Amino acid sequence: MSYQLSKMRLTLKRILQALFLAVLFSFSTLAMLRTLAATSNNSTATIERASAGKEEPPWIKNFVGLWPDRSLRSVLDDEGNTFAGPVIDDNDNHLFEVTTTTTTSSTTTKPHTTLDDIFISVKTTKNFHASRLDVIIKTWFTLAREQTWFFTDSDDEEYSEKTHNHLINTGCSASHNRMALCCKMAVEFDTFLESNKRWFCHFDDDNYVNVPQLVRMLQKYDWTDDWYLGKPSIKAPLEILDREHIPQKISFWFATGGAGFCLSRSLGLKMKPLASGGKFISIGDKIRLPDDVTMGYIVEHLLSKQLTVVEEFHSHLEPMKFLKQSQIADQITFSYSHYGAEMNVLSLDGFNNQIDPYRFLSLHCHLYPNFSFCPR
């Protein structure tokens, strides 16, 4: 009996030892697996940090998914090699995205600007819808479709559809006198204020806007400061009679509307008590001058803010043929005009003059050759 008890105790002891070893082995295995998982996670994090630290190809700083080099003629891979870009569907809603960087210093961070921060307005009239808007809609409008609005003087179902309902009937006169021009500009300005956008950029319906260059230019300026950006068409400040203090004269610069100009939101808000709600029209009527001059009068004379000249804006008052082809990609706006048989247009190869009398189609294909309508 004693022998059997001893044998049972020995067997039980061995069973307990086996269970203990099994539990110990399980805990050891679990600890080893946790260690391996932690090591794997650390390795992954290290790889991710290394990847994040890898320098991006230079073109990414300018574009995502479009022609990144300065001439905008090709797509580069990560190694900087050139390969053929895609054919672009002109009805695509998002052809490119302009990326931005935030410039930092030891004390301040400069707010950056993206395309969606800009309210782009184009002044037009019903009589020019067919002759001027079609080429804009086909070219640069496709690059800023959500940000661009057309201000006209009549309802037009056809062009409302073509502009994706971005055609606004201002209710202003269809004439080209100063009152009608100031009326449209007043609606443009008030619509900008309601949009809460950071920048207001006005253009005429005879302008081509190089959208990426416009964004790049605005990225140099802080929208929280007061900026009036444009280009005058006269060689000296304009002098007009001060009708409240005759015979005194007033002197100020103004950016010609035919080249385009931009206002920061900070400046727009300072202008609001003077120019919103139709007051812009009253000031234009008071000084008896058109809309772009009235804008300069409000900014420079009434608010004492100076015009900052941007040489890359160009109006029809300049000879377009003197713009060198090698410099075209760096310019922001272009225009055209004709006096009788003489055409003031860009000297640029491309479509024939019957198809492209204003050279905007040729210009667009020079900048963006992969659009579907561009010759190959």
- Strand 228-230 and strand 307-309: the pairing is parallel
Respond yes or no: is residue 134 known to be catalytic. no
Do 116 and 146 touch, CB atoms closer than 8 A?
A: yes
As a residue count, the chain comes to 376
8-state DSSP, 325? G
Q: Where are the beta strands (DSSP E) in 146-280?
A: 148-152, 167-169, 199-204, 208-209, 228-230, 238-241, 249-252, 261-264
Do 222 and 110 touch, CB atoms closer than 8 A?
A: yes
List the beta bridge partners of residue 204.
123
As to burial, measured by CB atoms within 10 angstroms (0-12 exposed, 13-18 middle, 19+ buried), residue 366 is: buried
Measured at the CA of 228, the angle between CA 223 and CA 232, to 5 degrees, comes to 150
Peptide bond into 247 cis (omega under 30): yes
Q: Which residue in 292, 330, 349, 356 is the catalytic one?
A: 292
DSSP secondary structure letters along 113-163: --GGGEEEEEE--GGGIIIIIHHHHHTGGGGSTTTEEEEESS--HHHHHHT
Do 118 and 217 touch, CB atoms closer than 8 A?
A: no
**Following CA atoms 47, 52, 53, 57 in sequence, which dihedral angle do they give, to the nearest 10 degrees?**
120
Q: If DSSP codes are grouped into helix, strand and coil, which group holds residue 15?
A: helix
As to burial, measured by CB atoms within 10 angstroms (0-12 exposed, 13-18 middle, 19+ buried), residue 259 is: buried
Residue among 92, 73, 95, 94 nearest 84 (CA): 73
Q: How far apart are the first and last CA of the chain?
A: 105
Residue type, 177: N
Phi, psi of 65 (to 5 degrees): 80, 10
Q: Any idea which residues carry the catalytic annotation?
A: 292
